């Protein structure tokens, strides 16, 4: 899988989970090295940083700098910051579900 295919597949799986859970994607596109998605729900407005890995690699953890930047960006947009880790198999299938982390 190419890096672009990895981002598209990871984005697709994260969006699918969000929509099935009642969230609506306000902004986001599978492009660039870091992927952020603005998401709306009746109970919350969030900004998600998506980290994607392809087995045998793991999705990378957010660095402290990345987490601080995400918090600042989310605050400026009136959103709550979250990180999501997506692990794919080499064919682009989701492995183990999307793992969400609230960044208070």
What is the C-alpha separation between 100 and 97, in angstroms, rounded?
Answer: 10
Range of the domain at 38: 3-102
- Looking at residue 102, what is its pLDDT? 94
What is the C-alpha separation between 17 and 23, in angstroms, rounded?
Answer: 9
Q: What's the total number of domains in the chain?
A: 1
Say which CATH number the domain at 83 has. Answer: 3.40.1350
24-33: pLDDT as tens digits: 988 765 545 5
Cβ neighbours around 64 below 10 Å, total: 8
- Looking at residue 31, what is its pLDDT? 45
The parts of the chain modelled with pLDDT lower than 70 are 28-34
- Looking at residue 33, what is its pLDDT? 53
């Amino acid at each position: 899988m190419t890096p672009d295919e990895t981002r598209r597949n990871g984005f697709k799986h994260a969006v699918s989970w969000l929509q099935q859970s009642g969230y609506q994607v306000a902004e986001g596109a599978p492009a660039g090295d870091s992927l952020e998605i603005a998401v709306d729900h009746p109970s919350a407005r969030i900004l998600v940083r998506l980290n994607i890995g392809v087995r045998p690699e793991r999705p990378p953890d957010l660095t402290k700098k990345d987490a601080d930047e995400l918090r600042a960006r989310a605050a400026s947009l009136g959103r709550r910051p979250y990180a999501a880790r997506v692990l794919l198999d080499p064919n682009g299938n989701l492995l183990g579900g999307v793992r969400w982390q609230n960044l208070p």
